[in-house]
Amino acid sequence: MVTPPVDDSVLKPGTGIDLVINLNSLHPVSYASVIFEADPDTRHLVVAATGGTCNPDETGTHQFHVSTMVRMGSGEKKRVGFPCQVIKTLPGYRLANGNTTLALSLSYAPTPEDVNVRSAFRYIPTATHEVLGKLVIGGHDFFSGKQFRVCNISTTGVGLVIPRLLGKGKNPLAALESGHIARLGIVLRDHSQKKEQLHTMDTALSVVRVNRRFNELSLFAGCRFTRLKSADEEVLSHFIHNAQLHEIRSLTHT
């Protein structure tokens, strides 16, 4: 669907974007990136290469969209994507500070499309972007940092690492099974700003799978969110995007 009146003037150097791969497939994925160069006359971009986007043998086989959030005339925020094609990879792209990094040279179409995909990327929390939680199951409360750890998170679910033992006793959460239903309270802490950003949310979830052979000390539980509010989904998506951009900019010093 065409989304007027947005034009490519939103694609500016320094703008944080998502590179969405195979938007119209059953399993689209996206990677946070940033625009290094933009030339609207030739419809050419140079962007940071991240994750699966930087394999030169595979970029030509995928469909790409450069996606960003824009504010419409009504004040509504909408995510749009500009169809694009990878021209070539730039393994020694030189940044303004003299450092080099891996980049992608893209050509794009000036007319954007609606992009409703949420990133399938599962973010691994860091000390800069923490994800804490309280799991309520069977009338019992379990806390991250004690009975479990948030291993990764996306807008569709979360991965939990659960120690088998607590001190000298068994961890009761280690009895978790596939099919169990629970509620998860989530705290997102962003330490990358001068003032810490803090967001809280809660959702119902279902345990999709349990890997009891994760390692000798722990098991892994993959869980799917079942009642995450749309506003909380947007906050979580923004948190993950900012966390990825922070990692990119930490590497490129931009």
Determine contact, residues 65/101, Cβ cutoff 8 Å. no
- Please tell me whether residues 230 and 167 are part of one structural domain: yes
On whether both 166 and 234 belong to a single domain, the answer is yes
Picking from 117, 146, 165, the residue at the C-terminal end of a domain is 117
Judged by average pLDDT, the poorest of 60-64, 114-118, 125-129, 210-214 is 114-118
pLDDT at 251: 59
Start-to-end CA distance of the chain, whole Å, equals 34
Give yes or no: residues 70 and 152 share one domain: no
Residue 28 counted as domain residue: yes
Average pLDDT over residues 147-156: 92
> What distances in angstroms separate CA 51 from CA 33, 146, 156, 191, 237, one per listed residue?
10, 31, 19, 23, 17
Is residue 101 domain-shared with residue 145, that is, in the same domain? no
C-alpha 212/C-alpha 87 separation (Å) is 44
Domains held by the chain: number: 2
pLDDT (0 to 100) of residue 53: 52
Structural domain contains residue 243: yes
One domain for residues 79 and 40:
yes
Whether 136 and 242 share a structural domain: yes
Q: What pLDDT was estimated at residue 1? A: 44
Q: Is the peptide bond before 56 cis (omega within 30 degrees of 0)?
A: no
- Summarize the confidence of residues 131-142 as an average pLDDT: 96
Please tell me the pTM assigned to this model. 0.62
Q: Which residue has the tokens 């860091």?
A: 126
In this structure, the answer to whether residues 146 and 213 fall within a common structural domain is yes
Residue 2: predicted pLDDT? 44
The CATH number for 33's domain is 2.30.110.10
Domain range for 85: 8-117
The whole-number average pLDDT for the span 158-182 is 94
Q: What is the mean pLDDT of residues 40-63?
A: 72
Asked whether residue 1 is assigned to any structural domain, the reply reads no
Please determine, for residue 161, whether its predicted confidence score (pLDDT) is greater than 80. yes
Domain CATH code at residue 231: 2.40.10.220
* Alpha-carbon distance values, 121 to 17, 75, 111, 223, 243 (Å): 14, 28, 26, 15, 12
